[in-house]
């Protein structure tokens, strides 16, 4: 049977439905798994996404884009394909794409996270014949602690800084990680960068209970001991240097690698990711019961080799153009 999804220069393409998934070059019809910039690019004629991603897509790509939205589990027909979106647990509105054509079921995972937490709907394992999985953290060294433990570590660091009368500056992705932290951090003065504030508003409009946090525009001085949620891009900015006394830290799966933490000259690194870790990837793949697994977006060769050693039929589906979330 012909593959339901193939790789073209524009991105992953479904010939039977005549649409692309997260294409990186302009196309007629784009199905978008989630609003991170390396998945949701500008220039497409028509967009399709989960309803909770709509405001973020419009904020990022312009209010005039042609955008159709679906709820999870709602089925539509595109050409000869029945398409539905299912929770990927990665960020608000993130979706796995399920496609059915002539009795074949394919699922493209997009980015996904296994641990459930209240900032977005939890990952839903789906049975399918063919599973296209991401592999961002597909190495055995990537093994996440439960979120509650990481939050305890961050809280202890914040408290120690506050006792010294200095700020705690936390670098975090504006979309996803920042909202996850905002909902999980203990009470206390937390200020957010305008980029984070804008995404907080999208989450609140979608019904997520993000606590209100003052916006830090770089001029004001938050009360001593405050914690600041800011995007990594503002490290070493003049606004930060005006704060005088602070410690900084990053919250990311990449903090598992000591070399990265050192290179960025951070005071601390907290290991927490919006992607599945090694065991999480293997668990999700087993849940699908798929006969064929295509691997994309990350440590492709490692995961393909491991799955083949386990007797599974796995192969790379390289998707150039997808990178680290921004």
Question: Residue 168 pairs with which residues in a beta bridge?
Answer: 227, 247
Q: Which stretch binds Zn ion (CB under 5 A): 13-21, 111-119, 179-187, 283-291?
A: 111-119
Distance of CA 279 to the CA centre of its chain: 18
Site for Zn ion in 20-59 (CB under 5 A): 36
Applying CB under 5 A, among 22, 197, 248, 325 the residue interacting with Zn ion is 325
Q: How many Å apart are CA 306 and CA 285, to the nearest integer? A: 12
* Rounded least distance, CB 35 to Zn ion, Å: 8
Closest to Zn ion by CB, 224 or 233: 233
Would you say 111 or 277 has its CB closer to Zn ion?
Answer: 111
Looking at the Cβ atoms of 95 and 288, the one nearer to Zn ion is 95
Binding residues for Zn ion, rule CB under 5 A, total 3
Instruction: Using the rule CB under 5 A, give the single segment among 20-28, 108-116, 158-166, 227-235 that binds Zn ion.
Output: 108-116
Beta-carbon count within 10 A of 303 CB = 25
Name the residue nearer to Zn ion (CB basis): 175 or 227.
Answer: 175
Q: In this chain, which of 22, 111, 197, 248 binds Zn ion, going by CB under 5 A?
A: 111
For Zn ion, the closer of residues 81 and 175 by Cβ is 175
Residue 196: CB minimum distance to Zn ion, A: 16
CB of 94 to Zn ion, least distance (A): 7
Smallest separation (angstroms) from Zn ion to the CB of 274: 7
Query: What angle is formed at CA 150 by the lines to CA 148 and CA 153, rounded to 5 degrees?
Result: 115
Site for Zn ion in 220-249 (CB under 5 A): none
* Binding letters toward Zn ion, positions 59-98, x by CB under 5 A: ----------------------------------------
The residue range among 81-89, 105-113, 161-169, 191-199 that interacts with Zn ion, by the rule CB under 5 A, is: 105-113
Residue 86 CB, nearest approach to Zn ion (Å)? 16
3-state secondary structure the chain: CCCCCEEECCEEEECCCCEEECCCCCCCEEECCCCCCCCCCCCCCEEEEEHHHHHHHHHHHCCCCCEEEECCCCEEEECCEEEEEEECCCCCCCEEEEEEECCEEEEECCCCCCCCCCCCCCCCCCCCCEEEEEECCCCCCCCCCCHHHHHHHHHHHHHHHHHCCCEEEEECCCCCHHHHHHHHCCCCCEEECHHHHHHHHHHHHCCCCCCCCCECCCCCCCCCCCEEEECHHHCCCHHHHHCCCEEEEEECHHHHCHHHHHHCCCCEEECCCCCCCHHHHHHHHHHHCCCEEEEEEECHHHHHHHHHHCCCEEEECCCCCCCCCC
Min dist CB 58 to Zn ion, Å, is 18
CB contact at 8 A, 26 and 40: no
Nearer to Zn ion, 168 or 252 (CB): 252
Q: Which is nearer to Zn ion, 135 or 226 (CB)?
A: 135
CB of 321 to Zn ion, least distance (A): 10
Q: Are the CB atoms for 80 and 103 separated by under 8 Å?
A: no
* Nearest CB to Zn ion, comparing residues 248 and 325: 325
For residue 325, the minimal CB distance to Zn ion (Å) is 4
Residue 259 CB, shortest distance to Zn ion, in Å, is 22
Judged by the rule CB under 5 A, the positions of this chain that interact with Zn ion are: 36, 111, 325
């Amino acid at each position: 049977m012909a593959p339901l999804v193939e790789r073209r220069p524009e991105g992953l393409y479904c010939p039977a439905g005549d649409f692309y998934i997260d294409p990186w070059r302009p196309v007629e019809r784009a199905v978008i798994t989630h609003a991170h910039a390396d998945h949701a690019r500008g220039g497409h004629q028509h967009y399709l996404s989960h309803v909770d991603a709509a405001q973020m897509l419009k904020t990022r790509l312009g209010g005039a884009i042609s955008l159709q939205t679906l709820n999870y589990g709602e089925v539509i027909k595109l050409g000869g394909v029945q398409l539905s979106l299912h929770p990927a647990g990665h960020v608000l509105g993130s979706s796995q794409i399920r496609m059915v054509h002539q009795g074949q079921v394919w699922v493209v995972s997009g980015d996904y996270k296994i641990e459930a937490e209240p900032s977005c709907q939890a990952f839903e394992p789906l049975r399918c014949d063919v599973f296209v999985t991401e592999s961002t953290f597909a190495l055995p060294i990537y093994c996440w602690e439960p979120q509650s433990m990481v939050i305890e570590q961050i809280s202890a660091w914040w408290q120690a800084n506050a006792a010294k009368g200095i700020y705690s500056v936390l670098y975090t992705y504006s979309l996803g990680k920042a909202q996850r932290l905002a909902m999980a951090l203990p009470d206390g003065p937390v200020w957010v960068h305008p980029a984070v504030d804008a995404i907080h508003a999208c989450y609140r409009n979608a019904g997520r209970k993000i606590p209100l946090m003052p916006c830090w525009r770089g001029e004001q001085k938050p009360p001593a001991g405050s914690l600041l949620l800011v995007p990594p891009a503002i490290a070493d900015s003049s606004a930060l240097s005006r704060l005088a006394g602070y410690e900084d830290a990053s919250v990311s799966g990449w903090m598992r690698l000591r070399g990265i933490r050192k290179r960025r000259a951070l005071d601390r690194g907290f290991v927490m990711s919006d992607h599945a870790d090694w065991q999480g990837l293997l668990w999700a793949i087993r849940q699908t019961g798929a006969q064929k697994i295509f691997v994309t977006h990350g440590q492709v060769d490692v995961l393909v080799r491991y799955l083949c050693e386990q007797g599974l039929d796995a192969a790379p589906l390289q998707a150039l153009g997808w990178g680290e979330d921004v």
